[in-house]
Amino acid sequence: MAALWKGKVNRIDDYRWEIPTSYKSGMRVAGLIYASEAMLEHIWEEHVFEQVANVAFLPGIVGRSLAMPDIHWGYGFPIGGVAATRLSDGVISPGGVGFDINCGVRLLRTNLTVDEVKPKIESLINELYVSVPSGLGSEGKIRVKEKELNQVLAQGSRWALEQGFGTAEDIVVTEESGRMKQANPDKISTKAKKRGIPQLGTLGSGNHFLEIEVVDEIYEPESAKAMGISGVGQILVLIHTGSRGLGHEVCGDYVRLLGEAVKRYGINLPDRQLACAPVSSPEGQAYLAAMACAANYAWTNRQCIAHWTRESFVKVLGKSQREIGLEQVYDVCHNIAKIEEHTVNGKREALCVHRKGATRAFPAGHRDLPDRYRGIGQPVLIPGDMGRGSYIALGTERAMAESFGSTCHGAGRVQSRAAAKRSLRGVEVARQLASRGITVKTGSLSSLAEEASQAYKDVTEVVEVTDKAGISRKIVRATPIGVIKG
Partner 1 sequence: MVTVVGKDFEVINHTADVGVVAYGANLSQAFANAARALFSLITEPESVEETLSREIELRAPDEESLLVEWLNELIYLFDTENILFKRFEVSELGGGRLRARGYGEKVNRSRHQLKTGIKAATYHMLSVSQDEDDVYRVKVIFDI
Count of positions on this chain that bind partner 1 (CB under 8 A): 49
To partner 1, the closest distance from the beta carbon of 446 in angstroms equals 5
Nearer to partner 1, 112 or 274 (CB): 274
Exactly one of 272, 315, 431, 436 binds partner 1 (CB under 8 A); that residue is 272
Q: Give the single-character DSSP code of 413.
A: B
Q: Give the single-character DSSP code of 91.
A: E
Position 446 contacts partner 1 (CB under 8 A):
yes
To partner 1, the closest distance from the beta carbon of 202 in angstroms equals 11
Q: What is the sign of the dihedral through the CA atoms of 466, 471, 477 and 478?
A: negative
Exactly one of 28, 194, 372, 398 binds partner 1 (CB under 8 A); that residue is 194
- CA atoms within 13 A of residue 145's CA, in its CB half-sphere: 1
User: Which residues, at least 6 apart from 127, have a Cβ–Cβ distance to it below 8 Å?
Assistant: 312, 315, 316
Pick the piece of the chain touching partner 1 (CB under 8 A) from 82-90, 95-103, 216-224, 295-303.
95-103
d(CA 62, CA 43): 24
Q: What is the sign of the dihedral through the CA atoms of 366, 372, 377 and 380?
A: negative
Exactly one of 107, 238, 277, 414 binds partner 1 (CB under 8 A); that residue is 414
H helices of 25-120, where? 37-44, 48-55, 114-117
Three state DSSP letters for 234-250: EEEEEEEECCHHHHHHH
Exactly one of 307, 388, 413, 474 binds partner 1 (CB under 8 A); that residue is 413
Name beta bridge partners: 336.
355
Exactly one of 16, 28, 120, 191 binds partner 1 (CB under 8 A); that residue is 191
The string of DSSP letters for 55-77 reads: HTTSTTEEEEEEEEEEEEEEESE
Phi-psi region of 448 (alpha: psi -120 to 50; beta: other; left: phi over 0): alpha
Position 260 contacts partner 1 (CB under 8 A):
yes
Position 93 contacts partner 1 (CB under 8 A):
no
Position 136 contacts partner 1 (CB under 8 A):
yes
The number of beta carbons lying within 10 Å of the beta carbon of residue 115 is: 10
To partner 1, the closest distance from the beta carbon of 211 in angstroms equals 19
Angle 37-44/459-469 helices, nearest 10 degrees? 120
Exactly one of 11, 256, 264, 431 binds partner 1 (CB under 8 A); that residue is 256
d(CA 486, CA 172): 28
d(CA 458, CA 388): 7
Position 441 contacts partner 1 (CB under 8 A):
no
To partner 1, the closest distance from the beta carbon of 195 in angstroms equals 5
Q: What is the number of helices (H) and of strands (E) in the chain?
A: 18, 19
Position 288 contacts partner 1 (CB under 8 A):
no
To partner 1, the closest distance from the beta carbon of 469 in angstroms equals 23
Exactly one of 130, 344, 350, 419 binds partner 1 (CB under 8 A); that residue is 419
409 labelled catalytic: yes
Position 415 contacts partner 1 (CB under 8 A):
yes
Site string for partner 1, 12-31 (x = CB under 8 A): --------------------
Nearer to partner 1, 377 or 443 (CB): 443
Nearer to partner 1, 89 or 260 (CB): 260
In the three-class reduction of DSSP (H, G, I as helix; E, B as strand; rest coil), residue 355 is classed as strand
* Chain centre distance of CA 399: 17
Exactly one of 450, 462, 469, 483 binds partner 1 (CB under 8 A); that residue is 450
Exactly one of 255, 292, 326, 462 binds partner 1 (CB under 8 A); that residue is 255
Q: Give the single-character DSSP code of 93.
A: -
d(CA 420, CA 205): 16
Catalytic one of 72, 342, 366, 409? 409
Contact 53, 24 (CB under 8 A): yes
d(CA 316, CA 299): 26
To partner 1, the closest distance from the beta carbon of 428 in angstroms equals 17
Residues 99-128 that bind partner 1 (CB under 8 A): 99-100
Exactly one of 72, 240, 338, 360 binds partner 1 (CB under 8 A); that residue is 72
Residues 202-221 that bind partner 1 (CB under 8 A): 204-206
Nearer to partner 1, 70 or 213 (CB): 70
Which residues have a catalytic role annotated?
409
Residues that bind partner 1 (CB under 8 A): 1-2, 46, 72-76, 79, 98-100, 135-137, 191, 194-195, 198-199, 204-206, 245, 248-249, 251-252, 255-256, 259-260, 271-273, 275, 413-419, 443-444, 446-447, 450, 486
